[in-house]
Amino acid sequence: MTDNGLDNSFHVRNDGIPGTESIVERLEGISGKVDDMRASREKDPDSFGDKILTMLIPTASALIAGKAFSAWWKRRGLSTGTSALHDSGHESDNLLVGVAFAALSAAFVAVVSQLSERGSRAYVDRRHRRNRGSRS
């Protein structure tokens, strides 16, 4: 123990505040973690644009597919409107039509979303292969 009240063997002052050596060690640890994260990010071949592309295309295509399916469903006269069915006492038929619409719409949108996700990923991968080939 030194005469100024610091115990350097534990890197903590007597009043419970960490000493400078302890703080520096912690900051060096954080710096190492940041360096590891940076190296991991730099190894990732996908750029920010690639990540946006592979997220945006499936999302937009699913939205468009959902709207198109809904429009097709209404144009075919299969709308889940309650006025005609409710007046005639066929609430269970209306429920079945609504459930059928929900199930078929979800299935259609899921298929379109999966296909567009695979397509956008294949496009990005092909672009990476082409860029790698031009560098060598």
Mean of the per-residue pLDDT values of the chain:
81
User: For 72-100, what is each residue's pLDDT tens digit?
Assistant: 999 887 765 544 444 555 677 788 888 99
Question: 12 by DSSP, 3-state: which?
Answer: strand
Q: What is the pLDDT of residue 9?
A: 52
Please say whether the beta carbons of 69 and 120 come within 8 A.
Answer: no
The pTM is what? 0.58
CA distance 4 to 1: 8
Q: What is the pLDDT of residue 94?
A: 84
CA distance 102 to 95: 11
Instruction: Return the percentage of the chain with pLDDT > 70, whole number.
Output: 76
- φ, ψ at 9 (rounded to 5°): -70, -25
CA distance 58 to 97: 27
Confidence of residue 32 (pLDDT cuts 50, 70, 90): very high
**Whether pLDDT at 111 is above 80:** yes
Residue at 76: amino acid letter: R
Q: At what angle do helices 48-75 and 91-135 cross, to 10 degrees?
A: 150
**Whether pLDDT at 10 is above 70:** no
Burial (CB count within 10 angstroms: exposed 0-12, middle 13-18, buried 19+), residue 29: exposed
CA distance 115 to 124: 14
**Whether pLDDT at 7 is above 60:** no
